[in-house]
């Protein structure tokens, strides 16, 4: 199904937002470790076109084609077109994608708590380089929710976790050639304990 996805990310300094969510109209849908694998051809032509093929496991198994719609710094939220299909067997799908000439270009792991907030989706995500809040909805709703939850707009980010990871790598030179966003073996997820 094709849809237009509008979202905004906020960089969090700690997990105190959970208490605000619990004391609000937010309803916890659940928590899950998610793994996302991005695919592209050998010359990364999809990325050059602002398109991303990815397979995500966690709450469900999904293959997605994501297309950036806005690249303008004047935009207030990140907008992209998403086509998603649920799949049963991600190993067979991986074999199929490689068989048509795509390759894995990056793996991302995160632990996600998903909330419903008055019909909008809020994701609280733990990645190896920090905690983030992602609000999905119409622009007006996104900013209204951020205001209701008293989220600092200075920590707002328009883009993907891969974009944030690139910034993180620029400040941590030992990671400059790293393409995967993965937790260390045996890592204990903060969000899973809350």
The fold of the 2-193 domain, in CATH, is Hypothetical Protein Pfu-838710-001 (2.40.320)
> pLDDT per residue over 47-67, tens digit each?
999 999 999 999 999 999 999
pLDDT on residue 70: 62
Task: Give the C-alpha separation, 125 to 122, whole Å.
Answer: 10
Task: Give the C-alpha separation, 180 to 136, whole Å.
Answer: 25
The stretch 114-122 carries a mean pLDDT of: 96
> pLDDT per residue over 84-106, tens digit each?
999 999 999 999 999 999 999 99
Whether the full predicted model's pTM is greater than 0.85, yes or no, is: yes
The residue extents of the domains of the chain are: 2-193
Task: Give the C-alpha separation, 169 to 118, whole Å.
Answer: 36
Give buried/exposed letters for 10-47 (b at 16+ CB in 10 A, else e). bbbeeeebbeebeeeebeeeebbbbebbbbbeeeeebb
Q: Strands (DSSP E) along the chain, which ranges?
A: 2-12, 26-40, 51-57, 62-68, 78-86, 103-117, 120-127, 130-136, 156-157
Looking at the DSSP bridge assignments, the partners of residue 68 are 80
Reply yes or no on whether the pLDDT at 68 is more than 60: yes
Reply yes or no on whether the pLDDT at 72 is more than 70: no
């Amino acid at each position: 199904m094709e849809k237009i996805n509008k979202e905004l990310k906020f960089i969090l300094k700690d997990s105190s937002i959970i208490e605000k969510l619990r004391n609000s109209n937010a309803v916890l849908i659940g928590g899950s470790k998610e793994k996302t694998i991005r695919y592209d051809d050998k010359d990364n032509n999809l990325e050059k076109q602002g398109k991303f093929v990815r397979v995500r496991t966690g709450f469900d198994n999904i293959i997605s084609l994501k297309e950036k719609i806005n690249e303008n710094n004047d935009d207030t939220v990140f907008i992209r077109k998403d086509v998603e299909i649920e799949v049963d067997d991600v190993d067979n799908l991986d074999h199929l994608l490689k068989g048509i000439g795509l390759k894995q270009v990056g793996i991302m792991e995160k632990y996600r708590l998903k909330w419903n907030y008055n019909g909008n989706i809020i994701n609280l995500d733990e990645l190896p380089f920090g905690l983030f809040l992602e609000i999905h909805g119409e622009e007006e709703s996104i900013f209204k929710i951020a205001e209701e939850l008293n989220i600092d707009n200075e920590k707002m980010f328009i883009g993907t976790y891969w974009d944030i990871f690139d910034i993180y790598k620029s400040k941590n030179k030992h990671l400059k050639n790293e393409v995967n966003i993965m937790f260390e073996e045996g890592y204990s997820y903060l969000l899973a304990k809350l």
